[in-house]
Amino acid sequence: MSASRRDFLKLSGGAITAASLPFLKVLPASAASDVIVAVMGQTINSLDLHRTGTNRPSYQVAVNVYDRLVTFGTKVTPNGSVSYDYSVIEPEIAESWEITDSEMIFKLKPGGKFQDGSPITAQDVKWSFDRAVSLGGFPAVQMKAGSLESPDQFEAVDDLTFKIKLIRPSKLTLPDLAVPVPFVINSKVALANATDDDPWATEYLHKTPAGSGAFKVAQWKPGEQLVYERNEDYTSGPIPEIKRVIVREVPSPATRRALLERGDVNLSFNMPNKDAKELSEVDGLAIQTTPIENSIYSLCPNLGFDAFKDKRVRQAIAYSVPYQEVFDAGAYGRGEPMWGGPSMSPSDIAWPQKFPYATDLDRAKDLLKEAGMSSGFDVPLSISLGQIDWMEPVALLIQENLANIGVNATIEKIPSANWRTASLVEKRLPLHLETFGGWLNYPCYYFFWCFLEGHLFNSSNYRNEEIEVLTLETLHMPIDDPDYAPKIKRMIEIIWDEVPRIALWQPALSVGMNGVKDFEYWFHRQLDVRNLKGV
């Protein structure tokens, strides 16, 4: 550890002190060079992704502490950064697989071991997949996206052979096995801690992982930090170079920035765009910014709110957004604009692509008049305190322009801990900012999550009969099927006309590094510590 990092623990004055962040005291005064300290702004609220109520920041535990049958490959991007490679599927627990139209058969690696030393068997895979499809909520729907819906589909043929019986051939099934959800649990440990009331051991695994991954959880203090410790007997891939990774939860972006600049921490995950832009030229710091595939930051009018039942009102809101100012204030140029498309009919199936709306207050006023709402209306505009760095400046700009068309928007700030429930589970926010990034990089997959009635990220309470049919028709269809592109174009055309989500920009993920290298970007946008290396 550098002298400045040791000195950081002794600070007694100023905005950043050990007293203000008491959990810093657990870090040894003379940590070795193979210890990395990372900071993030959100709280890890569970160590079990399958558990109801587990938040997105917690998904990183499933990545670092557990393994899957397969994983995506790795590539170096044109700008020299490291990223997952969606086009390549590689072994993890499995060593090989065969696929037909009716089944997938996986051969597990001989000698694979969980972190307690017990063997990884097909029975563990079967139990883990049964759990993923049975507990409900987001994990079950994610499995369903890959046509993995029922325990009846999964069979442990013998200790090292696992079979999936396919409901249908689907382009999504194999890549769906490489996302965080279908992680493999040591079922022997889980069952020993299950109860009649909790047969899936959710209470035990919430606090005590039972995986085979590259790292173990050495310590977890919700709201403070999580400490990863290298699994010295890792069998599913190369053993990490770093022995220990300390992930601290530091809500203040200003504090995270200061810690990185001083060299008190090695990595700042998911930096605000403003900080990423301003620090990109600072000597000794490396800022890695990666566009997030299949992702859009959006303004969402909720069709459960009376005014937004009329698509002309939703279109009026879309024409009122000051897109360039929003992009400048929220993205600081890091990302891709998603407004100003040339036509209401798409010319191709690229996703995301620019929506056919731009700032036009006169057009917005005309649409409100056509809808019989020329006098405007009142509406709360909700944002999350956990994403205040971009949501607040964007909301203020939208609020100002809405006032110019007679719509009185009152900004409502919701605590991060309550945001997911309010926006996605209860879907009760009349007008709100939201983001979604699709894990499987197809437009039909984005539509599956955001535009089907009742699905988690359909926070606008949107339903369209044609979208319901077309999404399910295209979800599993090969992209070279001659019907695929026309159907996708029609889906995009409908969404542009009915605007249940108003696209703002395609975001990027920024990570700041000081004394560390080889951060690997992943579609799930969570911290993957497995390949980090010291400089």
For residue 272, give the nearest of 43, 509, 44 by alpha carbon.
509
* DSSP 8-class letter at 385: G
pLDDT single digits (tens) 110-121: 999 999 999 999
Q: Where exactly are the structural domains of the chain? A: 31-63+213-266+514-534, 67-191, 295-507
pLDDT single digits (tens) 169-198: 999 999 999 999 999 999 999 999 999 999
Beta strands 533-534; 377-384: pairing state: unpaired
> CA-CA distance, 167 to 48, in Å (whole number)?
27
> CA-CA distance, 202 to 184, in Å (whole number)?
14
pLDDT single digits (tens) 24-61: 444 432 344 699 999 999 899 999 999 988 988 999 99
Give the model's confidence band at 22: pLDDT under 50 very low, under 70 low, under 90 confident, else very high. Answer: very low
Q: Looking at the DSSP assignment, which residues form a beta bridge with residue 301?
A: 431
Return the pLDDT at 122: 98
Largest CA distance in the chain: 71
**What is the overall mean pLDDT for the chain?**
92
Residue 216 has pLDDT above 80, yes or no: yes
pLDDT single digits (tens) 231-264: 999 999 999 999 999 999 998 999 999 999 999 9
pLDDT single digits (tens) 336-366: 999 999 999 999 999 999 999 999 999 999 9
User: 């969404």: which residue's tokens?
Assistant: 495
CA distance readout (Å), 51 to 114, 352, 497? 21, 31, 37
* CB contact at 8 A, 135 and 51: yes
pLDDT single digits (tens) 266-324: 999 999 999 999 999 999 999 999 989 999 999 999 999 999 999 999 999 999 999 99
pTM, 2 dp:
0.86
**Higher per-residue pLDDT: 147 or 42:** 147
* CB contact at 8 A, 336 and 388: no
> CA-CA distance, 138 to 78, in Å (whole number)?
34
> CA-CA distance, 488 to 470, in Å (whole number)?
8
Return the pLDDT at 339: 97
| CATH topology identical between 67-191 and 295-507 | no
> CA-CA distance, 473 to 73, in Å (whole number)?
29
* CB contact at 8 A, 69 and 98: no
Give the model's confidence band at 416: pLDDT under 50 very low, under 70 low, under 90 confident, else very high. Answer: confident
Domain over 31-63+213-266+514-534 is classified CATH 3.40.190.10: yes
Return the pLDDT at 333: 87
pLDDT single digits (tens) 62-110: 999 999 999 999 999 887 889 999 999 999 999 999 999 999 999 999 9
What proportion of the chain, given as a percentage, has pLDDT over 90? 87
CATH number of 295-507: 3.10.105.10
3-state secondary structure 50-118: CCCCCCHHHHHHHHHHCECCEEEEEEECCCCCEEEEEEEEEECCEEEEEECCCEEEEEECCCCECCCCC
**Higher per-residue pLDDT: 498 or 334:** 498
For residue 233, give the nearest of 217, 214, 252 by alpha carbon.
214
372 φ/ψ sector (left φ>0, alpha ψ -120 to 50, else beta): left
CATH number of 67-191: 3.90.76.10
Lowest mean pLDDT among 213-217, 413-417, 429-433: 413-417
User: 């006309």: which residue's tokens?
Assistant: 497
Give the model's confidence band at 127: pLDDT under 50 very low, under 70 low, under 90 confident, else very high. Answer: very high
> CA-CA distance, 28 to 19, in Å (whole number)?
16
For residue 63, give the nearest of 55, 53, 71 by alpha carbon.
71
> CA-CA distance, 115 to 211, in Å (whole number)?
6
Mean per-residue pLDDT, 410-420: 91
For residue 86, give the nearest of 343, 360, 440, 365 by alpha carbon.
440
Return the pLDDT at 7: 40
